[in-house]
Chains A and B, each alone.
Chain A
Amino acid sequence: QKEVEQDPGPLSVPEGAIVSLNCTYSNSAFQYFMWYRQYSRKGPELLMYTYSSGNKEDGRFTAQVDKSSKYISLFIRDSQPSDSATYLCATANTGNQFYFGTGTSLTVIP
């Protein structure tokens, strides 16, 4: 079983839609939860970070962690064409050994 499972999509939504991206993880020891955004032919860049359970909001982005069900989510409100990218979830129990999902490809159609 992989440490992190993520639906690869692809996901296509109209501009302005609410997007929900989800991952599940296997190890209850994971404490750090991250979402990375990766544009085509670029390296991943950190989008959101949460420690332990709960929600975190940053502008149009909200990250949620439910440790009881080992489920992590990223919500994008008022999606924009510039949000079109691949979104990678990641978990860790230290700052070094990150486990990444395979990524969900998102296209926001103008």
Chain B
Amino acid sequence: DAGVIQSPRHEVTEMGQEVTLRCKPISGHDYLFWYRQTMMRGLELLIYFNNNVPIDDSGMPEDRFSAKMPNASFSTLKIQPSEPRDSAVYFCASRATLSYEQYFGPGTRLTVT
């Protein structure tokens, strides 16, 4: 099993640009989570999906952030327009219905200048 796959691994962009982060969950996992990690705030849940449906997006910081899951094997997190304070590591995680364990991807390190 390849685990959770995220792309790109690193992204450097200028303020105001659109950023799209991608995630492929582990096959068979029904839940997908997007997190953001910063030194100051640690790991924060942004949104999670169950069977491709967004269940809780209360952690999404602003309307500039949006997430989609068009099918069971792909999800995107989009930031438009990006701002320097969005600089962080963004993680995708997935889990199976009958398990509590969330499996994390390697993360995307985003830098907005």
Contact = CB atoms under 8 A, between A and B. Distances in A.
Nearest to A101: B42
Interface in A66-110: 88, 92, 95-98, 100-103
Interface string A25-49: 0000000100000000111111001
Contacts of B48: 96
Q: Which of A43, A46, A49, A88 has the most CB of B within 10 A?
A: A43
B54 interface: no
A26 to B, nearest CB: 15
B41 A102 contact: yes
Interface string B48-62: 100000011000000
Interface size classification for chain B = 20 to 34
A43 B105 contact: yes
Interface size classification for chain A = 10 to 19
Nearest to B6: A43
A50 B48 CA distance: 23
Contact of B104 (A41, A43, A95, A103): A43
Interface of B: 4, 31, 33, 39-45, 48, 55-56, 91, 93, 95, 99-102, 104-107
Those 9 A-B pairs whose CB atoms lie nearest each other, nearest first: A43-B104, A102-B42, A100-B43, A95-B100, A44-B104, A46-B101, A43-B106, A100-B42, A43-B105
Interface of A: 6, 32, 41-46, 49, 88, 92, 95-98, 100-103
